[in-house]
Structure 1
Amino acid sequence: MDLAGKTVVVTGAGRGFGRAFALHAGRTGAHVFVSARTLAGARKTADEVAADSGAHVEAFACDLADPATVRDFAAQVAAHTPSVDVLINNGARYLAGPDLWDADDEAITDTVASGATGTLLTVKHFLPLLRASEGADVVNLVSSAAEPRNHRSQAHPAFYAAKAAQAGFADVLSHRLRPEGIRVISLYPPDFTDGDPLHATWDQASRTADDPLTARSVLDCVLFALGQPRDCFIRSFHFEQL
């Protein structure tokens, strides 16, 4: 999808899908705002976007587990633009370990706060900018861990809890924002590979059902949903798993 002229905000843009989306947005002419937990991480991606496409890109630090930094991030973006067309909620802490005792209390709290509370607060504080757009989209990178009775991941129970909360929020948000014309799109991918999904040698046609899901394939799902007419509300993408 061509994002020319769109204003795009991406959280968790320091690597993986967030970085991939920022690069694509820059290549298609968007004004891009990226955040990561550290300013250095956000600036690294911003520099890549600028070098790759020459796009207008701004970098900010935003720790999604810290409400003050979420508010500050939204305020700083508002100082640069009157509206936001696409908000990508990608940032969230992953926590490994199937047993509750595999993580201390602080890591558990941080995981739930970044994945669940962080997404809620990000949407809350960017909502005025989204409402100012002629047609805004909120995209949530959830996880198959949020699907009922999906126990494939070896993630910590705190990660499961965070993603389940994020999914519940996305569901009610979609219902309540639809009358305003704001679409809420959520993806529930299993673990997928990052690699370099925008590298020139990547060949979509060569991929088969035996290949692991890639960040590029997830990106293409998002672009498909964003490219639909404004009367088309695709609420979620769920992925078949082996």
Structure 2
Amino acid sequence: MGLRVLVTGAGRDTGRLLAVAFAARGAHVVVTARTMGAAEETVGFIRAAGGTARAAVLDLADPDSIAALEVDRLDVLVNSGARYLGETASPADIADAIAGAATGTVLLTERLLPLLRKSERADIVNLISAAGENGQHRSTAHAAFYAAKHAQAGYAEILSERVRAEGIRVISLFPPDFVQDGPREAGAELTAQSVVDCVLFAVGQPRDCFIRAIHFEQARRFEQRAPRP
């Protein structure tokens, strides 16, 4: 692949899977997380598998942290860092989640756009959520999480329209609440690995293929289906 990829929220869970997956396909990955320890742990997994990566601290809720991030070349930006909010959340939790997922994603993307414009195959990938789809109420997340994800989706939509003429693809994914591990079969909950595979598929398409969004069906349990005749 030979790409330079930056993944936010790569210190654990889905962000880590994304970083490891890109590295396994030959990309050099900038692994970012709120703490250096978490980022370095992911880098350790990548290097142990023969890949290349470096760790960097990035707190999307802190504009100074975004401004301090050092990157000199970039082909793919993966905006996967976002704090999930459950049904109950404190005012501080709400402020942090919206600052990270909404404001932080916008500030980071804007800061890195000059580098992406220098790439011959630039992609901006946004892991949003079904909570960012109009009219959807499928997640049990806090209403503030919905607000943050709608902001993220709105920015991605207009950005895609404005940078497409430059050959920059903006790819947004809208998965429902999903699990990190589980059976990858019909009727089961969506898994993080399946989300990662969708990202890799979209990024791997020829440059004439602009996949703006990937939407997912909510899982339906077999027992809820009508029996076959």
The TM-score, its normalising length taken from structure 1, stands at 0.87
Residue of structure 1 equivalent to 2:85: 95
Residue of structure 1 equivalent to 2:124: 138
Distance 1:207-1:105 versus aligned 2 partners, 3 A rule: closer
Q: Which deviations, in whole Å up to 9, do the C-alpha atoms of 1:175-208 show, x marking residues without a partner?
A: 001010000000000111213x9xxxxxxxx832
Q: Which deviations, in whole Å up to 9, do the C-alpha atoms of 1:132-183 show, x marking residues without a partner?
A: 1111000000000111221121111111100000000000010001010000
Compute the displacement of 1:115 (Å).
Answer: 0.5
CA contact (8 A) 2:184 2:191 kept: no
Residue of structure 2 equivalent to 1:8: 5
Could you tell me how far apart the structure 2 residues matched to 1:135 and 1:105 are?
A: 40
Q: 1:43 aligns with which of 40, 45, 58?
A: 40
| 1:17 maps to 2:11 | no
Aligned letter for 2:148? A
Could you tell me how far apart the structure 2 residues matched to 1:157 and 1:38 are?
A: 27
Matches within 5 A, 1:223-238: 223-238=200-215
Aligned letter for 2:209? C
Q: Calculate percent identity across the aligned residue pairs.
A: 55
Residue of structure 1 equivalent to 2:102: 116
Compute the displacement of 1:104 (Å).
Answer: 2.3
Compute the displacement of 1:103 (Å).
Answer: 2.3
Q: 1:66 aligns with which of 62, 86, 89?
A: 62
Compute the displacement of 1:55 (Å).
Answer: 1.8
Could you tell me how far apart the structure 2 residues matched to 1:142 and 1:157 are?
A: 15
Task: Identify unmatched segments of 5+ residues in structure 2.
Answer: 221-229
How many equivalent residue pairs?
219
Q: Which has the higher contact order (CA 8 A, sep 6+)?
A: 1
Q: 2:171 aligns with which of 179, 185, 209?
A: 185
Q: Which deviations, in whole Å up to 9, do the C-alpha atoms of 1:193-236 show, x marking residues without a partner?
A: 213x9xxxxxxxx8321111111111111111112111111000
Residue of structure 2 equivalent to 1:84: 74
Residue of structure 2 equivalent to 1:240: 217
CA contact (8 A) 2:184 2:190 kept: no
| Pairwise CA RMSD | 1.3
Task: Identify unmatched segments of 5+ residues in structure 1.
Answer: 198-205
Could you tell me how far apart the structure 2 residues matched to 1:207 and 1:189 are?
A: 15
CA contact (8 A) 2:128 2:152 kept: yes
The TM-score, its normalising length taken from structure 2, stands at 0.92
Task: Give the ranges of 4+ consecutive aligned residues of structure 1 lying more than 6 Å apart after TM superposition.
Answer: none
SS at match of 2:71: helix
Q: Which deviations, in whole Å up to 9, do the C-alpha atoms of 1:76-132 show, x marking residues without a partner?
A: 122xxxx211110000111111xxxx3222211111010001110110111111111
CA contact (8 A) 2:85 2:97 kept: yes
Could you tell me how far apart the structure 2 residues matched to 1:166 and 1:36 are?
A: 19
